[in-house]
Each structure stands twice: as structure tokens, then as C-alpha cells.
Amino acid sequence: MVDAIIERVGRRIVVGAPLGLGKPVHLLNALYRRAAAEPTLELRIVTGLSLARPQARSDLEKRMLGPIVQRLFGNCPELAYVGPYSRNALPPNIRVIEFYMRAGAFLNNATAQQHYISSNYTHVARDLLLQGVNVFVQAVAKRDTDGETALSLSSNSDSLDLFNLLDATDPDRRIVRVAEVNDRLPFMGRDALVPESTFDLVLDDRSLGHDLLSLPAGPVHTADYLIGLAASSLVRDGGTVQIGIGSLGDAIAYGLCLRHRENATYREALRAAGLTERCGDSIAAIGGTGPFATGLYGATEMFADCFRHLYQAGILRREVYDDLAVQQLVNAGRIGSEVTLGTLDALVEAGAVASPLDAAAVDHLVRLGVLRDGTRFADGALVTPAGKRLDPDLGAAGSRAAIEAECLGEWLAGGSILHAGFFIGPQAMYDHLRGLDEQELAKFNMTGIGFVNQLYGHEALAAAQRRHARFVNSAMMMTLCGAACSDGLANEQIVSGVGGQYNFVAMAHALEGARSILMLRSTRTKGGKVSSNIVWSYGHTTIPRHLRDIVITEYGIADLRGRQDHECIAALLNIADSRFQEDLRAEAVASGKLAPTYRIPDRHAANTPERLEAELRPLRAAGHFPTFPFGSELTDVELVLGQALKSLKARMGRRLGLAGIVKETVGAGLDVPDAALPYLARLGLDRPTSLRETMLQRVVVAELRSGGHI
């Protein structure tokens, strides 16, 4: 395959590849190794989110991670370029150019930082071509049915944007399109289906199939839960949601599930957290607290695992349709998903079809599912699937009865409960998708980013589908005047990338009834020092202040839309950590943006982590708000060890931390308590065979004891 690519494009290969799972690992590795072995071959890899297995940096981490990585990632091969790329050690004839990076993985990596492309996700296809891409590669799923082959873009239907652009600008197929089949990818239908002719070359060797790289669920802490709880109260029944990956996404999903399944407990949680008292007006005006009678629809660039849990809870179930007239009638309550004669009447009244029916109308109604497959129009008559000829006039009484009995479908076709551009998650998510029957799986419509992340070209349909949209994203920092920093630092080092965040924020301001929700933890801790994530100003902006809308921290909700600057500042001070409120207030006053007489209201002056823990403690005692809301791929022993090793690492990073650990270790004595044995056995330290292993054993025992685990 590499030889075929070189033959077509020459010895300067600029290869584009999807982000995340959609990379064809074997093919990219073959290209990389060929270029590494042949310095005269120039290779450029233009992509995003180059994922890798977690790498251990110490003996203890290796002992901990080894079995977990093997269990979670199976035989998934590593991308050969990621290691040298991460070490800033790529060969001089090879370059990696990313438009989205693994969060925090490439800070201070000069090569990665210099060659980063800052691009909205909706512009990535365009920017790939501007980088001179002459080869595009993608991993696909394949299915052979009745002698016909179908390919699925599976995890990365975002490539549809590039294919559409290529069809318009590259009719001679100068840019070579290459697919690599991986039979472990879920076979997604609908928009993700493409003909074999989409690709010029297909690498189809089933021995190359491999497990998928996964992102296991992480722990959800108190601050995350309270942010998610607040966000869940702003979601309106019958509305639309976009949610990202990670602990905040899981926290929102948990809040929504609690709201739907255990509503009394949910309302008590809102009350206990002070959200009912402090934010009740915003909740009533923007969202709601009742169960989901109609359900939600997802319009999200990333199909994260939290949507699986919303689906299983019966929340993600509002179907939308790609036909504007149908969607508008559904919104108006004129028709439902079940087809009746009233469905036909409503379509006629709306002018979507004419009566008497003609050939075009019949074909259209069959596609919509209003008429059964096999129904057709011929020689001025409506022909039933059984071949009976009927009067096509829907107003004729006799014809109506016959149409209802012999032609009418049962359910509207093409309903989607989710549109997304790519997915990645834990192995359980992939197993779930592979286990759905075809009809159920079709409700998850993987499609182009140009459709999901913006309104251009389909404004009316998007507005009809995305009712009461709540686009929920994460930020790292927020200025008091409402600008958000989500992807980079003040020194222009890129942490991750803008992705689709700007698109969704802008769309929230363009769609009637939509809201942008930015979530952030109020503080961060580094090297034992706590800093505020709400700041007066910051030298890098992802979302400008003129697009400010709703901001949530663990201390509540700030509704900034249409507010004056002094009102925005006051609202954000109310949800800042109280350790920093007064200094922030003073900066705003000194800058002339807040009256010198302004004071933080008493009910917002006790924003402390201790208060939050106290608020959740009774609910946790009753079994709610667990560390892993949807379970974990780790064992109970591994979860405890993970906490202990994380604590140990943090202590090692603090001044005099090592001295304290040595003191605890020496003072712990030589006896190993029985309670420590399962943890030591998991690390292979229950029977040390060297002085080094003995010391590691004692360090682990001391840390387990210090953390109250034994």
C-alpha cells in the first residue's frame, strides 16, 4: 500500500487523517517506518488527537498500569510516530501537524507547538487542503451483504466534510483516498455509509483488525458533581443537548439521570446544594427539574459515553427528522412518530404533498415511512404493495379506507435521537454499539461536522430540530467580564485546541431559545498551591466576552446574557471561591468596572470546598454521587491504589515532600498489616526479593495507612 501511494503522489507525502479512532494505525505506521528508513522520503502527517496508551514513569506506575493497559487496550497497536513526536525527536524528514492535541500532552514541546494549526472544527477540511494534503487515510468498518460491499466511516463521519469538499474541488482525484478496514469498529449506518468508490485504495486484511483505543471513565469529584447538577437543571424537557467527554460530562449525565429516575432525590440535592435558593429563578426560566416526559435529542460533535447512559436511562429519545415539513409538524404536535391517516392529512395541509398524489409525492411518502415500501404510482393510480390500484385522491372516502388498510406505514422513517461527527469512549461503549440491532443503531446518526457544528446551508432544519438547545462545554478559566480561556495559555502554549467550542457558543446565540453553558472548576491546584480559575483578565481568549452567556462553577450559575459589565462581574464573583472573591472584587473596583461600595452578598460569601463536602455528605451516605457514577473498568483494589499513588505523587512534588515520606516509611516499622496484602499483591510487592522492592513495599504501606485505606 505504501508503494502504491508513493507511485501515485511521489516522494513528498502529505497525509491527512481523522482525529481519534479514525486513524488507520497499521497504514500510518507503515508510512512512518518507510520515511524513517528513507531520509529522501518527505512525510507530513496532518491530523488531530493522536492518542496513545498511558505511559508509566516510575516503577510503581509500571506495576500499577501494566495489567490495566493490557486489559483495556488489548491488541490495539501504538501509533509509531507518537513516541518520537511526544519526545520532540521526530526524524528531520517527518513532521506531525495537529489541529487538536491531547490535553496538556504537548506543553513545552517546541515541535508540536510550532506546527499546531489553530482551526475551528468546521474549518478543518479546508485547512487540510491548505496544508497541501495529497493523501487522505481513514479506518473504516466493512459489511458484505448479498454480494454487495458497504463501508462505514464508523467512529469518524467527520470525514464527510472533506469528501464533499474534494468532490467539488478535486474531480480528477489527484488527492488519493485510502481506507483501512478494521472489523472491530462498530458498523454505523445512515450518513456514515459510503460506497467503496469513495476510496481509491482499500487495505482489507482481516488479520490487521485490532481492538480500539479506549478512554476509561475517570473519577467524578464533589466540585464536578455540583457543576453537573447545576447544568442538568438548565436542560429543558423536549430540548437538545451537546455534552463533551470527561468527568464533567459524566456529572451532567448523572444529574440528568437522577432527575429522571429519582426526582425527589434530585430536588433534595438541588436544595441541599443551595441551587434552589440561589439560582431558582434561572432554573425556572431556562430549564426545569421534572422528569423527562418527551426526552432529549443530542446534537454534538463528539458522541461521548455519557450519551449512552442517557439513552439507557430513557432520556435520549426525542427523535428528529431530516425533512423540514415533517419536523415542523412534529414540533407543532400535529403528527407523531406513529403514522396515521392524520399524518397524510397534515402533510397535505402543510403543502408538503399534493392531493391527488402523483409519482413524486408517492416516492417522497415512501421515503418518509408514511407509505409502505412497495407502494408506487403508475398510470394515474396509487398501486399498493399487493398490486391493487387505488384512487390517488386523499379526499375520496373509499380511497382513504383502502390506503389506510393497504398502503399506510407504521412509523415515520429516518428518526435520529443523536447526530454526531465522531466518537470515542470506553470499551463498554464500543461493545454497546456493536450489540445494538440495526433499527436501534440507526437512531444514532453519525454525520458531517458541517451539519452538527453550524447552521450554514441548513438553517431552517437545524432550527426546527435543535429546539431549546443547551450547548454545554468546559473552560479552563473565565475573566470577570465573561471571556473564556479553554484551549491555551497566556504564553500562547496550546493545551488542546478550540475544536468545536466556538462553533457551539456562536450557534447558541444564533438559535432562538438556545443557550451556551460554559463549565469550569472555580480553582486549580498545582504544586500544593491553590489558584482561582476566575480571574480579572487573561492573555489568551477562546470565547470572547461579547459571546458570554451562562457560566457554571461548583458554587452556582451565572447568567451573563445581555447583562451590563458590572452585573456580569457581580454574577461571576458570586460563583467564585471565597478565598479569592475579595481580591477579584478589588481588581474590578480598581479598574473602574465595579462600584467601590459593592459587597459580596452574604449568601455567596461562604463558597468553600468544606461547605460543598458537607452539602453532599448526607446524599453520599444514602448511596448517591459515587466516585464513579457509571461504574469503572478498574477493580476496587485498583481504585484504592490509584488514590494512594496519586496522593504519593502529589506529595513528592511538594517541598520537603520526600522527607515526610521517608519519615513515615521509617517510622512504620517492618510489619506488613494483613489489610495491605491485596494491594501489595496487585503491585507484585507482597513478597519483595530485593532491597528496592522492600522499600517500595514500605512506601506503599505508609501511603495506604496515611490515606486511611488500611
Q: pLDDT-based confidence at 668, cuts 50/70/90?
A: low
Neighbours of 69 (CB within 10 A): 16
The whole-model pTM stands at 0.94
Residue 181 to residue 172: CA distance in whole angstroms: 25
The per-residue pLDDT for 656 is 43
The per-residue pLDDT for 96 is 98
Domain segments of the chain as ranges: 2-208, 223-245+263-290+448-604, 324-406, 636-706
Structural contact between residues 535 and 568, judged by C-beta atoms closer than 8 angstroms: no
Backbone angles phi, psi at 207, to 5 degrees: -70, -15
The per-residue pLDDT for 663 is 56
Please provide the DSSP assignment of 78-110 as one string.
Answer: PPTTHHHHHTT---TTEEEEESS--TTTTTT-H
| Residue located via cell numbers 404536535 | 333
Task: Tell me: pLDDT of 658 over 70.
Answer: no
Share of the chain above pLDDT 70, in %: 97
Buried/exposed 486-510: b ≥16 CB within 10 Å, e otherwise: bbbeeeebbbbbbbbbbbbbbbbee
Structural contact between residues 138 and 185, judged by C-beta atoms closer than 8 angstroms: no
* Number of separate helices (H) and strands (E) present in the chain: 28, 24
The dihedral formed by the CA atoms of 97, 99, 104 and 110, expressed in degrees to the nearest 10 = 30
Neighbours of 134 (CB within 10 A): 20
| Residue located via cell numbers 487495505 | 203
Task: Tell me: pLDDT of 646 over 90.
Answer: no
| Least reliable range by pLDDT among 323-332, 393-402, 468-477, 575-584 | 393-402
Summarised one tens digit per residue, pLDDT across range 594-621 is 999 999 999 999 999 999 999 999 999 9
The per-residue pLDDT for 487 is 96
Domains 2-208 and 223-245+263-290+448-604 share a fold: yes
Average pLDDT score, the chain: 94
Task: Tell me: pLDDT of 540 over 90.
Answer: yes
| Residue located via cell numbers 490535553 | 103
DSSP code at position 287? -
The CATH architecture one would assign to domain 223-245+263-290+448-604 is: 3-Layer(aba) Sandwich (3.40)
| Least reliable range by pLDDT among 2-6, 324-328, 584-588, 702-706 | 702-706
* β-strand partners of 96: 45
| Domain 2-208 CATH class label | alpha beta
